[in-house]
Chains A and B, each alone.
Chain A
Amino acid sequence: DAKTTQPTSMDCAEGRAANLPCNHSTISGNEYVYWYRQIHSQGPQYIIHGLKNNETNEMASLIITEDRKSSTLILPHATLRDTAVYYCIVRVAGSSNTGKLIFGQGTTLQVKP
């Protein structure tokens, strides 16, 4: 299974962009990169996903390098409510075409006033 590596923790000033990096050097060609976040004791919340092109939605942008070995999640204007654990996940391809999510330890993002 493709594995992801993220920094354990990061700080960001409120109103500034938060850039969360992720390494996934063993990713396969047909595996997607997903980002979720989890606020304490709640279920993980979907943020964004992509295959090889950069993606943007109302929450964030996802930048994937050309070799697909790393990606960056960008929260353009972080607020205190963005304080959470952010998980970078490679959605695993399987022989039966399932797509289980393999969670790592994630990055704890602390947004400070």
Chain B
Amino acid sequence: QVQLVESGGGLVKPGGSLRLSCAASGFTFSDDYMSWIRQAPGKGLEWVLYISSSGTDISYADAVKGRFTISRDNAKNSMFLQMNSLRAEDTAVYYCARERGGWFGNYFDLWGQGTLVTVSS
């Protein structure tokens, strides 16, 4: 069925690294822009980065610029988030989300279940 499944979360020390994966199924992954969106415990939603369908266009939130890297492998229907120099404030559930839209704007119409990243010593 149409779904996104994240993996790779866990406990990491400040300054450490982690790589998240997002596996897509049930749709033509290579057609869609994809994003990572995070949610700190008990807080709201924060967009982190997006990657275009071909992978050539990438945008980062200022909070993660220079530390996080997004990539995708369309042949494997997968997207990745490499997180370096992690900080306590990066602690959150990380969701991958499919972005759709048109002239009326874009929206996130398909979300994974999320994977928890905890940055703590």
Partners in one complex: no
